[in-house]
Amino acid sequence: MAMTLRLTDDETEALRAQAEAEDRSMQDVARAAVREYVDRHAHEASVRDASSRLRSRYADVLRRLGE
């Protein structure tokens, strides 16, 4: 799917510099950044959910450890 991404001049220059440093296209670097962002946020949500479940499950143990 095609899309238009509007960047500021500073963002464009930073992307260009990174792409040149990696000898990759700006598109490849931008797509990788999007994938990393999505993966990181999905992982953070998963950790939050697991943490919430474990806090509920082990609330008594955690309370006693804190005493």
CA distances to 29, 40, 46 from 33, rounded to whole Å, are 6, 10, 20
pLDDT at 4 over 90: yes
In the chain, domain spans: 22-66
What pLDDT does 38 receive?
93
The better pLDDT of the pair 63, 27 is held by: 27
Side-chain half-sphere CA neighbours of 34 within 13 A: 7
What pLDDT does 1 receive?
83
- The 10s digit of each residue's pLDDT in 11-41 is 999 999 999 999 999 999 999 999 999 998 8
Q: What percent of the chain has pLDDT over 90?
A: 54
What pLDDT does 29 receive?
97
Residue with tokens 């806090």: 55
CA angle 3, 6, 21 (to 5 degrees): 95
